[in-house]
């Protein structure tokens, strides 16, 4: 029987299912039941994150409780959870700040967001167990979740964007012959990717998941598989079109490995460019130019989202273009009014009509 070629997104779906299954296999049966019950409401990536966070909690129990030391996580009974007190949950919060990975032995750290997410996952588990009368106590509801302080959005201003794109055209200065050869082979591709981020606000996972057939120059649109698996057409402008056409002209002459023939962006090995490689590429070009900001693909996405909002003032349009499920997410991240707009608002409302 001829082997069926599967798409990048199909392979990713299969890989994530296997990954989720493997994590679940390490956890107690009641956790497996809890996670399976959320499969219809959560994306695959969120399910994996939930299971991973819960795994850390059960590993903590085997570290903090001498009775459970070196126990198989699957053997931890509901009676153990029943006996937990709020102080145990607080101890877990403190543990999350710095702990040793049981897989690699490396020191792992969590900030406010990481700790809050893991406590939220644990709360959801206890809520499920309490609701189904599997435990009588829910200590997670007594303990306060750490407050997550809002951070300023990091984005590029127009001058910084121009500096980065200009530097990419002449990045070969001060490079070794080997580095220069690599740069010349990837220059057009890299310019296309960064221009795509800045001109469409794609997520890095959406970018690397693009196939050649997803690009339609007739309607200036990209067929994108959004977070959660939804398909969407994302439109692009002239600058993105030029960058893509320049790259595709080179792309025609590149050799590809089996299974990667349809990938839009290729590595020098002829395989689909990975998320990690794309992140490193963005850092390579932006770090020497923007020394006071840590620029990632997501920061380029933020730059596009903020610029679009400032140009249109339409938060619903921005939410739709960026693929946010809820407009509240967009409001939180992109509707930061500039000081000049706040000043203008001060005189927008008149208390009395001028005579």
Pick from 306, 307, 305, 223: which is nearest to 262 by CA? 223
Q: Is the domain of 124 the same as that of 39? A: yes
The first and second tokens of residue 143, run together, are 């303990």
Q: Alpha helix locations (H) across the chain? A: 8-24, 29-36, 44-64, 78-82, 86-97, 112-131, 158-169, 177-200, 204-208, 238-251, 275-286, 297-312, 315-322, 327-334, 339-346
Phi and psi at residue 103, in whole multiples of 5°? -90, -45
Q: Is the domain of 320 the same as that of 288? A: yes
In this structure, how many other beta carbons lie within 10 angstroms of the beta carbon of residue 209? Answer: 21
Tokens 């067929």 correspond to 223
| 152 within domain boundaries | no
For the stretch 234-268, pLDDT in tens is 999 999 999 999 999 999 999 999 989 999 999 99
Do residues 226 and 323 touch, judged by C-beta distance below 8 A? yes
| 178 within domain boundaries | yes
In this structure, how many other beta carbons lie within 10 angstroms of the beta carbon of residue 250? Answer: 15
Instruction: Point out which residues pair with 263 in neighbouring strands.
Output: 211
Q: Is the domain of 199 the same as that of 132? A: no
For the stretch 133-165, pLDDT in tens is 999 999 999 988 877 777 777 788 889 999 999
Q: Is the domain of 40 the same as that of 84? A: yes
Distance in angstroms (rounded) separating the CA atoms of residues 94 and 143: 12
Tens digit of each residue's pLDDT, the chain (355 residues)? 445 677 888 888 899 999 999 999 999 999 999 988 887 778 888 899 999 999 999 999 998 888 898 889 999 999 999 999 999 999 999 999 998 887 777 888 998 889 999 999 999 999 999 999 999 999 999 988 877 777 777 788 889 999 999 989 887 677 788 888 888 899 999 999 999 999 999 999 999 999 999 999 999 999 998 887 789 999 999 999 999 999 999 999 999 999 899 999 999 999 999 999 999 999 999 999 988 889 999 999 988 988 888 888 888 888 888 888 778 777 766 655 555 555 555 555 555 555 5
| 18 within domain boundaries | yes
Q: Is the domain of 96 the same as that of 178? A: no
* 80: CB partners within 8 A, 6+ apart: 61, 65, 68
| Side-chain half-sphere exposure of 218, counting CA atoms within 13 A | 2
Looking at residue 17, what is its pLDDT? 92
| 228 within domain boundaries | yes
Distance in angstroms (rounded) separating the CA atoms of residues 293 and 299: 10
Looking at residue 67, what is its pLDDT? 87
Looking at residue 2, what is its pLDDT? 47
Element (H, E) at 107: strand 107-109
Surface-to-core class of residue 243, CB atoms within 10 Å of its CB (0-12 exposed, 13-18 middle, 19+ buried):
buried
Looking at residue 45, what is its pLDDT? 86
Domain with 30, as residue range(s), is 8-141
Distance in angstroms (rounded) separating the CA atoms of residues 298 and 198: 10
Do residues 8 and 209 touch, judged by C-beta distance below 8 A? yes
Looking at residue 342, what is its pLDDT? 54
Q: Is the domain of 126 the same as that of 22? A: yes
Number of structural domains (the chain) is: 2
Looking at residue 324, what is its pLDDT? 82
Distance in angstroms (rounded) separating the CA atoms of residues 256 and 351: 68
Q: Is the domain of 111 the same as that of 234? A: no
Looking at residue 3, what is its pLDDT? 52
Pick from 245, 241, 206, 199: which is nearest to 220 by CA? 241
Q: Is the domain of 40 the same as that of 176? A: no
Surface-to-core class of residue 178, CB atoms within 10 Å of its CB (0-12 exposed, 13-18 middle, 19+ buried):
exposed
CATH assignment at residue 64: 1.10.150.130
CATH assignment at residue 329: 1.10.443.10
């Amino acid at each position: 029987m001829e082997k069926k070629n599967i798409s990048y997104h199909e392979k990713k779906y299969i890989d994530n299912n296997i990954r989720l299954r493997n994590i679940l296999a390490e956890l107690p049966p009641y956790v497996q039941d809890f996670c399976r019950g959320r499969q219809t409401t959560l994306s695959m990536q969120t399910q994996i994150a939930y299971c991973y966070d819960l795994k850390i909690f059960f590993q903590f129990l085997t570290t903090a409780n001498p009775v459970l030391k070196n126990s198989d996580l699957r053997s931890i009974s509901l009676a153990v959870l029943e006996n937990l007190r709020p102080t145990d949950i607080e101890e877990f919060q403190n543990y999350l700040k710095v702990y040793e990975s049981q897989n690699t032995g490396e020191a792992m750290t969590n900030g406010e967001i990481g700790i809050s997410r893991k406590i939220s996952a644990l709360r959801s588990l206890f809520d499920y167990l309490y609701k189904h009368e599997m435990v009588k106590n829910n200590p997670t509801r007594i303990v306060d979740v750490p407050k997550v302080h809002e951070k300023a959005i990091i984005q590029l201003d127009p001058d910084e964007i121009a500096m980065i794109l200009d530097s990419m055209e002449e990045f070969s200065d001060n490079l070794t012959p080997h580095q220069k050869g690599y740069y010349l082979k990837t220059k057009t591709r890299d310019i296309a990717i960064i221009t795509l981020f800045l001109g469409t606000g794609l997520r890095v996972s959406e970018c690397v998941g693009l196939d050649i057939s997803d690009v339609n120059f007739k309607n200036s649109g990209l067929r994108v598989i959004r977070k959660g698996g939804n398909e969407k057409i994302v439109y692009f402008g002239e600058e993105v079109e030029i960058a893509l056409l320049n790259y595709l002209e080179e792309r025609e002459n590149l050799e590809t490995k089996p299974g990667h023939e349809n990938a839009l962006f290729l590595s020098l090995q002829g395989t689909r460019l990975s998320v990690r490689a794309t992140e490193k590429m963005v850092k390579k070009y932006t770090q020497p130019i923007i020394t006071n900001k840590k620029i990632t693909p997501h920061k380029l996405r933020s730059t596009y989202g903020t610029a679009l909002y400032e140009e249109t003032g339409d938060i619903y349009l921005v939410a739709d273009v960026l693929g946010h499920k809820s407009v509240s997410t967009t409001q939180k991240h992109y509707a930061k009014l500039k000081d000049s707009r706040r000043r203008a608002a001060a005189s927008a409302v008149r208390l009395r009509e001028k005579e």
